[in-house]
Structure 1
Amino acid sequence: MADQRFVPSLMQLRVFLAVAERLHFRSAAEELGMSQPSLSQALATLEDGLGLHLVERSTRSVLVTPAGHRLLPYARAAVTAMDAVADAAAGSDGPLFGSLRIGVIPTVAPYLLPGLLPALGERFPDLTPRVVEDQTSRLVDGLRSGVIDLAIMAVPTDAMGVAATPLYSEPFALLVPASHELAGREGLPLEILVDQPLLMLDEGHCLREQTVELCRRVSAPVLGRGESRAASLTTAVRCVAGGLGVTIVPESAVGPETRDPGIAVARFADPVPGRTIGLVLRTATAGADAYAEFGRVVAEVAAQEFGATPV
Structure 2
Amino acid sequence: MSSYLPTLRQLRYLVALDEHRHFGRAAEACLATQSTLSAGLQELENLLGVTLVERTKRKVLMTPLGEEVAARGRELLRGAEDIADLARAHGKPLCGRLRLGVIPTIAPFLLPRALPGLRRLYPDLKLILREDLTARLLERLTSGELDAAVLALPYDAPEMEMEALFTDPFVLACPPGHPLAARDSVGSADLAAADLLLLEEGHCLRDHALAACSLPAPRRGEGMLGTSLGTLVQMVATGMGVTLLPRLAVEAGILTGTDLVTRPLVGGGARLLGLAWRKSSARKDEFRLLGKVLFGG
Would the TM-score normalized by the shorter structure come out above 0.5?
yes
Q: Give per-residue Cα distances to partners, 1:35-68, cap 9 Å, x unaligned.
A: 9x97xx88x959x9463579xxx99xxx999768
Question: CA offset at residue 140 of structure 1?
Answer: 0.8
Over the residues paired in the alignment, what is the CA RMSD in angstroms?
3.6
Is contact 1:103-1:132 (8 Å) kept? yes
Amino acid at match of 1:51: T
CA distance in 2, matches of 1:239, 1:33: 40
Q: Which runs of 5+ in 1 are unaligned?
A: 20-24, 301-309
Amino acid at match of 1:249: L
CA distance in 1, matches of 2:137, 2:111: 17
CA distance in 2, matches of 1:77, 1:128: 24
Question: CA offset at residue 13 of structure 1?
Answer: 5.6
- Secondary structure in structure 2 of the residue aligned to 1:257: coil
1:241 matched to 2:242: no
- How many residue pairs match? The answer is 278
Q: Give per-residue Cα distances to partners, 1:271-300, cap 9 Å, x unaligned.
A: x21111111111111132222211211221
Residue of structure 2 aligned with 1:200, choices 182, 185, 198: 198
1:275 matched to 2:292: no
- Secondary structure in structure 2 of the residue aligned to 1:87: helix
Q: 1:180 to 1:45 in 2, by over 3 A?
A: farther
Amino acid at match of 1:11: R
Question: CA offset at residue 178 of structure 1?
Answer: 2.9
- Secondary structure in structure 1 of the residue aligned to 2:241: coil
Is contact 1:162-1:281 (8 Å) kept? yes
Q: 1:299 to 1:131 in 2, by over 3 A?
A: same
Question: CA offset at residue 230 of structure 1?
Answer: 2.1
Identity percentage of aligned residues: 33
- Secondary structure in structure 2 of the residue aligned to 1:93: coil
1:261 matched to 2:258: yes
Residue of structure 2 aligned with 1:296, choices 282, 285, 292: 292
Residue aligning to 1:173:
171
Q: 1:18 to 1:262 in 2, by over 3 A?
A: farther
Residue of structure 2 aligned with 1:252, choices 241, 248, 252: 248
TM-score normalised by length of structure 2: 0.78
Q: 1:64 to 1:273 in 2, by over 3 A?
A: farther
Residue aligning to 2:228:
232
Is contact 2:175-2:261 (8 Å) kept? yes
Residue of structure 1 aligned with 2:75, choices 74, 77, 88: 77
Is contact 1:173-1:265 (8 Å) kept? yes
CA distance in 2, matches of 1:65, 1:209: 41
Residue aligning to 1:115:
113
Q: Give per-residue Cα distances to partners, 1:212-252, cap 9 Å, x unaligned.
A: 4457x3447444433x4222111111111111222111110
CA distance in 1, matches of 2:229, 2:162: 24
Q: 1:261 to 1:237 in 2, by over 3 A?
A: closer
- Secondary structure in structure 2 of the residue aligned to 1:131: strand
Q: Give per-residue Cα distances to partners, 1:146-178, cap 9 Å, x unaligned.
A: 222111111233224321111111111111123
Q: Which runs of 5+ in 2 are unaligned?
A: none
Q: 1:197 to 1:10 in 2, by over 3 A?
A: farther
Amino acid at match of 2:88: A
Is contact 1:184-1:266 (8 Å) kept? no
Q: 1:251 to 1:286 in 2, by over 3 A?
A: same
Residue aligning to 1:12:
13
Residue aligning to 1:146:
144
- Secondary structure in structure 2 of the residue aligned to 1:158: coil
If you compute each CA radius of gyration, which structure gives the higher value, 1 or 2?
2
